Amino acid sequence: MIDIHNHIIYDVDDGSKSIEQSIRMIKAAKEVGFDEICFSPHYMEDGYKTKRDILAQKVELIKEALKKENIDVKLNLGEEIFIFPELPDNLEKIVPLNDTRYILMELPLVEEVSYVEDVIYRLLSYGKIPIIAHPERYLVSSKDFSYVENLLQKGALLQININSLIGYYGKEAKEIATKLLKKNMVQFIGSDAHSSAGYNAIPQSMSALKKIISEDKIKELTEINPRKVLNNEEIEFDKNDFENAENRPKKWSLSAILRGVV
């Protein structure tokens, strides 16, 4: 499996605090089935903002430590970007997942921001594709499920946290994550691990996941689609794949925007 959402790089955000902890996290990830990881430390305009060269240096140090311990896990670099209105015009500040067109983007957990659709539209117009991190955790999702559906219709992709399925983030997040999976609205499953505990819980979460979707679908969300992201390949998704899509707002697809038909 490939994990595109985690906080393993040490001393840059609210995740790992030391290289030793980073190595423990990667060992834990390996034990539960991840053989490739795309790091995604937080980037926040008003908070965490580690420069790319510092992140790259830490990645190399982690690689050296893994080599010494004979741990075979492939590593890539990205960031989890906390949305801000000027994001599409400041792409030079951020690190997309493996420097591809794909941007892992986080929304506020509690408050609803009015400019989400505008940011999605402009990112698409610049050839970038936002992946919304853990939509099941947002308060607005629990109040109005159509909010999540609209993000997907507008051209964003969705990544849920696997541990949401066992109530790791509360009952409502569990219910929404389950509903998203059942409605075939999810493109990626990640860990969002901030410590080894996040990985240690995954076997239980995987058991829950297998009761919801097929083995083939699990492979798509944990291996095939993440591989396409890291290779900068297109993720095929039909808006009619989920229920009653014809009654929802028109999707702003990247191809439509580039053709000028939106």
Q: Residue 79: name the closest of 61, 60, 99, 63 by CA.
A: 99
pLDDT reported for residue 261: 44
Residues 161-192: tens digit of each pLDDT? 999 999 999 999 999 999 999 999 999 999 99
Distance CA 151, CA 219 (A): 24
Which carries the bigger pLDDT value, residue 214 or residue 241?
214
What residues does each domain of the chain span?
2-259
Task: Output Rg (C-alpha) for the chain, integer angstroms.
Answer: 17
pLDDT reported for residue 239: 65
Residues 59-94: tens digit of each pLDDT? 999 999 999 999 999 999 999 999 999 999 999 999
> Per-residue pLDDT for 253 more than 90?
no
> Where does the pLDDT of residue 143 fall: very low under 50, low under 70, confident under 90, or very high at 90 and above?
very high
CATH number of 2-259: 3.20.20.140
pTM of the predicted model as reported, rounded to 2 decimal places? 0.91
Residue with tokens 């995604």: 40
Q: Residue 28: name the closest of 230, 195, 179 by CA.
A: 195
Distances in Å between the alpha carbon of 232 and those of 50, 183, 207, 228?
24, 26, 30, 6
**DSSP secondary-structure letter at 235?**
P
